[in-house]
Structure 1
Amino acid sequence: MKTKQYLGLVIVLLGLLSVTAIKASDLLPPQMAIQEASDKLQQKLQDKAFSQNFAQVAQFVDQTIYPHTDFDKISELVLGKLWGTASSDEQARFKREFQTLLVRTYSRAFVEFKDWTVRFLPLDMPNGGNKVVVKTEVLQPGLQPISVNYRMLLANGEWKAYDIMIEGVSLVTNYRSTFSNEVKTKGSLDAVIDGLAKRNAEALAANNS
């Protein structure tokens, strides 16, 4: 994935954006779920002292995006066929470490990137449907808009994101390819999870030093 596109993806998932084009009162429930996380993160972004404490930022980002993100479904989709053959312990460990990976990545973006806006596009939402694609564009001064679409699922009365596509590239597909190759290289899913846990621990320790 190109650097510009990846950074755009990180920013959008975090919701570090000002909403334009569609009034907040006109947003539909799936769009409102995205904006709710955006509003909370934007408020914290104003506090420079808060932004300098990476551990605090990561904890807040986790708490903010978790209610609007289906990490169970994302983890299952990312592992694909490997999920069905994984033990319950491996599934739980992978979900935990993969969530940590996403949160620390987005937390770093939360600290470093601020000057973006997002535009919600009209939503095609069938009556009674429990799946929808929320289409947005990331706007940057002097650059072409970046297309970012959220795949969302209605579960227990709440809309949650389970994939994000930027310029047609899926987060789930991208990570699935990465982890599939790692399993082939390391020989087992357990070894991949161990490596991911080690990288997470090292990255968090470096950011907090």
Structure 2
Amino acid sequence: MKPTPCLLALALSMPPAAFARQVDPRGPEQMLKGTIDKVMGAIRSDPGARAGDPERTLEIVRRDFLPSTDFMLTTQYAVGSAWTHATPAQRDALFREFQTLLARTYAIQLTQMRQDDTQFRYAPTDRPAADADDAVVRTTVVTGGDTMAIDYRMRRTAAGWKIYDIDMMGAWLIQVYRQQFAARLASGGIDGLISYLAAHNRGP
């Protein structure tokens, strides 16, 4: 079916923003809570994930968690100054492999939190200033009598607030991986780091 002149005129008259990805109007804490609720709801309703299947949990993380992240920024910060020397193809490969690693790491953590009695508690946070681009949302996970602190660092983007760093075990992921990547970059350069990440993601 060919578009009619009226439809073409209407489309041409719409501002570019009308075709852009919808902006999430929620603040950082509300966005994070909505994302976690969606992920945990999917895990509990999926028989495989509910039983602790890491691959099923990973599929849920990819589908429901990754859209709320900016792991390209995470990759850039973790790689450090070497990022500026990477080619576009190398940057894409670094991002792809590192995002896979981060998704698997988060999925493994979630397999330990799939019980029905697991609760996510959100510490009161100061409302970020209207022009603030960065925020930290602190959470406590209570499951099976154990308590774990998980904090999320978030960045304001054109599409809303996105997660770009996570503190799951007392250290921020960017800080941990920056140290590991520095050693790999020193010995094998950018391609060496890409190969290392790809091999790690393939497993033994």
Which bracket does the TM-score occupy, shorter chain normalised? 0.7 to 0.9
What is the identity, as a one-letter code, of the residue corresponding to 1:92?
Answer: D
Match of 2:181 in 1: 179
Alpha-carbon spacing, 1:46–1:151, altered in 2? closer, same or farther (3 Å) = closer
Task: Structure 1 unaligned segments of length 5 or more: list them.
Answer: 1-27, 204-209
Q: In structure 2, how many angstroms separate the alpha carbons of the residues matched to 1:148 and 1:104?
A: 16
Percentage identity across paired residues of the two chains? 28
By how many angstroms is 1:172 displaced? Answer: 0.5
CA contact (8 A) 1:44 1:50 kept: no
CA shift at 1:136, angstroms?
2.4
Give the equivalent residue in structure 1 for 2:142: 139
TM-score, with structure 1 as normaliser: 0.72
Corresponding residue of 1:94 = 94
State the Cα deviation string for residues 80-111 of structure 1 (Å, max 9, x = none): 11111111111110100001111122223333
The equivalences for 1:22-101 within 5 A come to 29-47=27-45, 49-51=47-49, 54-101=54-101
Structure 2 length normalisation: TM-score?
0.74
Letter of the 2:190 partner, please give it.
L
Q: Which amino acid aligns with 2:191?
A: D
| Rg larger in structure | 2
Amino acid at match of 1:120: Y
Q: Which moved more, 1:125-134 or 1:173-182?
A: 125-134
Aligned residue in 1 for 2:154: 152
Gaps spanning 5+ residues in structure 2: where? 1-25
Moved more, 71-80 or 58-67: 58-67
2:195 corresponds in structure 1 to 194
The RMSD of aligned alpha carbons is 2.4
